[in-house]
Chains A and B, each alone.
Chain A
Amino acid sequence: MSLTLQNVSRVVDGETWISDVTMTLEPGSFNVLLGRTLAGKTSLMRIMAGLDRPSSGNILMNDVDVTGVAVQKRNISMVYQQFINYPTMSVFENIASPLKLAKKSQKEIDRRVRETAELLKIDNLLDRLPLELSGGQQQRVSMARALVKDADVVLFDEPLVNLDYKLREALRSELKDLFEARNCIAVYATTEAQEALALGGETAVLHEGRLLQKGPTPTVYHRPQDIETAEIFSEPPINIVPGRVTENEVTFDEQVHFRLNSDLASLEPGNYKFGVRPSHIGLAPHADDDLEIMVTVDLAEISGSETFLHVHSESYELVLHLQGIYQYRPDEQITVFFPTHKLYAFAPDGRTILVPGRAEGL
């Protein structure tokens, strides 16, 4: 079973929600829809599900046009942000509900519910009511209900947003394993770049209703086609510094100059936007020709094992992603080291001109 969207658009009250999206989801693939709030992730999923009809364009399943076919007639299941279960039914009945609708035999229902519950580690909770469970367990029940009926397409709309980070960690890795053994198409919407990377598979980056780029997740991450993709697919967002390239020199902000090095040699003279990942700026130099920049600390955000250091110089703001814990007070002056070898270069119109080389040449 493959799912193809052909030039799909959706316009509501004169506003374009989805603009000319074309993509094919292969059988057995795990697809992440990555985009900020209101990028069109949910709209696109609703079109895939058949809950909404596109204003133009077609949807094909296995090369059969299903554009106008109602959701009930497509074999699809969906998991939402909110934990949606039937409050008066037990966990068993909740999971069994799609099978009962499909009029399966009692024996088969029993077997499949237990199998699925076991996969999701809720087999000891089958007699309980959903509201007696913790948030994480409730979301497991709704996932089990989505998985039990062997849908051709399973859609996840930011299912982990309302869980705390330890539960997210656990469920995310389980989810990935669950789908490895299945032959259905999984679509997973998220706003978080780190979640997309952790889930792997394929990633489609959405922005303002447009599909910016789709491909294997690491490729999209390391080789974004334009500046918007790079910004969306980076958490914290990639740092962008405007600069000018002349015969043998690069200038940032008329202030910082350095010689063109081998990585940047291919750049034609002109204006560029340079991108540098937060993890590539350091408190110590990585290479001899790193640039030393004096900056002022705005805030050190610390996440248990990592530090996101927000700083600014006179004309631009930077974010550093550091491993380990660094406590700085706001307004402290520090020196950071800006790499000259790991730079992305984007044309003024946003196209990617240069991607830094990687060890394995990904």
Chain B
Amino acid sequence: MAEITLKTLAHSYSKKPAGPEDYAIRKMEHVWAQGGAYALLGPSGCGKSTLLNIISGLVTPSEGDVLFDGKRMNELPPEKRNIAQVFQFPVIYDTMTVYDNLAFPLRNQGGFSEDWIREKVHEVADVLELSGELKRKAKNLSADQKQKVSMGRGLVREDVTAILFDEPLTVIDPQLKWRLRRKLKQIHERFDITMVYVTHDQLEASTFADKIALMYEGQIVQFGTPQELFERPAHTFVGYFIGSPGMNFFEPRLTDEGLMFNGKAIPVNEQILDKVRRSGSDNIRLGIRPEFVTLGTDTGEQRYEVTVTGVEDLGTYQMVDVEFGPVTVKVRIPEDQPVPNDAASIGFPDPWLKVYVDERLVEADHE
């Protein structure tokens, strides 16, 4: 059973890192609980693959420790870590049958009777819906079946406590993807195994994982459920990266009256305002998702005058561009809501308007 802990972990590929930009992974503390389904999400170059390789043992971290159930793993090679990995491109043993592929890790381990191996292979093949293919040469399978075989080689081993996935659906036909995603979910329910899934795709990550670690420039900028990432982005990058399109941002001025934008005060929670003042930073941003902005023609308290500059009919909804002073704000409205012609007003209902100082979310303390 594996609880994976990253303790003051950092990694640099250069021997003498000069500054934070030399680190592929910046110092982080992190715990992945036994049996959870996790995703490492981020754009290319954010360090997610390096982190995965550190966990699997292909890369030794330059600072800090990787612990499995409290035991230090840093220098242990992959074969001694009780993990399995599914790669971007299916790795199968071409000349073997599906059966032999699945039996391979057990035979390598030694000490199992062929009867026991057969039972185990059939059990796993059953779950993966590969029972009918056991006698086929693995080479002749379709890409999604091959990916299931490479996953199966991890599942047959009773000593495996974590499976790592490195963008495993890259080569899968779009129509088959959702079936494989479902299979992954079912497997996670059925086997008590920690799963870590690396991807750059928000759909893959949110569908698979209970919790997502969103990475940006070598750091985990938020670790939370898909819902938290959407509703309460902890970092402006989360706001941008999650959702299509991402969050709207604009930069207010901090005055004695509060936050001002486009000549009008934008009221925020007193406690938050207080924190903003105390931070002393002038990097202040307001963010709100297009889904939460309200659009109408009514004027009054906390309505802001805007000009409609574009409407896209996206079938199930409409995406409206409005000019709000110097910035364009995107508003997502239902397909049947009429769009004001030119002059309109928008509102930022509580609690969806978020305040960011130095790119990080500022929140009121919970009562």
CA distance A310 to B181 in the complex (A): 12
**A305 adjacent to B43 (CB under 8 Å):** no
**A299 adjacent to B230 (CB under 8 Å):** no
**B226 adjacent to A302 (CB under 8 Å):** yes
A330 lies within 8 A of chain B by Cβ: yes
**B181 adjacent to A301 (CB under 8 Å):** yes
**A304 adjacent to B182 (CB under 8 Å):** no
Residues of chain B within 8 A of A278, CB atoms compared:
316
B198 lies within 8 A of chain A by Cβ: no
Binds A, one of B62-70, B240-248, B280-288: B240-248
**A299 adjacent to B338 (CB under 8 Å):** no
**B178 adjacent to A301 (CB under 8 Å):** yes
CA distance A222 to B186 in the complex (A): 36
Tell me the nearest residue of chain B to A298, going by C-beta: B182
A279 lies within 8 A of chain B by Cβ: yes
Most A CB within 10 A of own CB, among B185, B244, B312, B336: B244
CA distance A279 to B316 in the complex (A): 6
Binds B, one of A69-77, A104-112, A148-156, A193-201: A193-201
**A300 adjacent to B207 (CB under 8 Å):** yes
Residue in A191, A221, A305 whose CB lies within 8 Å of B291: A305
Tell me the nearest residue of chain B to A161, going by C-beta: B174
Within 8 A of A (CB), among B303-317: 312-317
Residues of chain A within 8 A of B225, CB atoms compared:
325, 327
CA distance A165 to B240 in the complex (A): 12
**A305 adjacent to B315 (CB under 8 Å):** no
**Given A302-B203, A304-B206, A325-B206, A221–B44 Cβ distance below 8 Å?**
no
**Given A165-B202, A305-B243, A324–B230 Cβ distance below 8 Å?**
yes
**B314 adjacent to A197 (CB under 8 Å):** yes
CA distance A323 to B189 in the complex (A): 26
Most A CB within 10 A of own CB, among B186, B245, B315: B315
A359 lies within 8 A of chain B by Cβ: yes
CA distance A303 to B245 in the complex (A): 11
Most B CB within 10 A of own CB, among A298, A300, A305: A305
B3 lies within 8 A of chain A by Cβ: no
B360 lies within 8 A of chain A by Cβ: no
B27 lies within 8 A of chain A by Cβ: no
**Given A194-B314, A360-B338, A301–B203 Cβ distance below 8 Å?**
yes
Contact size range, A: 35 or more
**A330 adjacent to B315 (CB under 8 Å):** no
**A305 adjacent to B201 (CB under 8 Å):** no
**B244 adjacent to A165 (CB under 8 Å):** yes
Q: How far is the CB of A82 from chain B (nearest CB, A)?
A: 15
CA distance A325 to B224 in the complex (A): 13
CA distance A139 to B289 in the complex (A): 29
**B312 adjacent to A324 (CB under 8 Å):** no
Q: How far is the CB of A297 from chain B (nearest CB, A)?
A: 10
Residues of chain A within 8 A of B206, CB atoms compared:
302-304, 325
B7 lies within 8 A of chain A by Cβ: no
Most B CB within 10 A of own CB, among A300, A303, A323, A329: A303
B137 lies within 8 A of chain A by Cβ: no
CA distance A278 to B316 in the complex (A): 9
B231 lies within 8 A of chain A by Cβ: yes
**A305 adjacent to B178 (CB under 8 Å):** no
Residues of chain A within 8 A of B200, CB atoms compared:
164
Residues of chain A within 8 A of B289, CB atoms compared:
305
| A interface, over-half SS | mixed
Residues of chain A within 8 A of B314, CB atoms compared:
194, 197-198
Most B CB within 10 A of own CB, among A191, A299, A360: A299
CA distance A193 to B206 in the complex (A): 22
B294 lies within 8 A of chain A by Cβ: no
**A359 adjacent to B336 (CB under 8 Å):** yes
CA distance A301 to B206 in the complex (A): 7
CA distance A304 to B290 in the complex (A): 13
Tell me the nearest residue of chain B to A362, going by C-beta: B313
A166 lies within 8 A of chain B by Cβ: yes
**Given A197-B313, A324-B291, A304–B203 Cβ distance below 8 Å?**
yes
Residues of chain A within 8 A of B230, CB atoms compared:
304-305, 324-325
Residue in A277, A299, A301, A310 whose CB lies within 8 Å of B316: A277
**B186 adjacent to A330 (CB under 8 Å):** yes
Residues of chain B within 8 A of A200, CB atoms compared:
312-313
B229 lies within 8 A of chain A by Cβ: yes
B271 lies within 8 A of chain A by Cβ: no
Residue in B44, B229, B335 whose CB lies within 8 Å of A304: B229
A358 lies within 8 A of chain B by Cβ: yes
**A323 adjacent to B226 (CB under 8 Å):** no
Q: How far is the CB of B218 from chain A (nearest CB, A)?
A: 18
**B182 adjacent to A330 (CB under 8 Å):** yes
CA distance A193 to B286 in the complex (A): 33
Q: How far is the CB of B328 from chain A (nearest CB, A)?
A: 11
**A218 adjacent to B243 (CB under 8 Å):** no
**Given A303-B202, A304-B202, A304-B226, A325–B231 Cβ distance below 8 Å?**
yes
Residues of chain A within 8 A of B336, CB atoms compared:
358-359
Residues of chain B within 8 A of A327, CB atoms compared:
210, 225-227
Q: How far is the CB of A337 from chain B (nearest CB, A)?
A: 16
**Given A164-B200, A303-B202, A218–B182 Cβ distance below 8 Å?**
no
Residues of chain B within 8 A of A263, CB atoms compared:
none
**A169 adjacent to B244 (CB under 8 Å):** yes
Binary per-residue interface labels of chain B (101-127) against chain A in the complex, 1 for a CB within 8 Å, 0 otherwise: 000000000000000000000000000
Residues of chain B within 8 A of A164, CB atoms compared:
43-44, 200-201
Within 8 A of B (CB), among A176-221: 191, 193-194, 197-198, 200, 217-218, 221
Within 8 A of B (CB), among A25-45: none
CA distance A347 to B332 in the complex (A): 34
Residues of chain B within 8 A of A114, CB atoms compared:
none
A321 lies within 8 A of chain B by Cβ: yes
Most B CB within 10 A of own CB, among A222, A301, A329: A301
CA distance A224 to B61 in the complex (A): 57
**A329 adjacent to B189 (CB under 8 Å):** yes
A–B pairs, 12, beta carbons within 8 Å: A164-B200, A164-B201, A166-B241, A166-B246, A222-B315, A279-B316, A300-B207, A301-B203, A302-B206, A304-B226, A330-B185, A330-B186
- Other CB < 8 Å A-B pairs besides A321-B316, A330-B182, A359-B336, 7 of them? A134-B44, A191-B174, A279-B315, A304-B230, A304-B243, A305-B243, A310-B178
Q: Which 5 A-B pairs have the closest CB atoms?
A: A302-B206, A279-B316, A305-B243, A304-B202, A325-B227
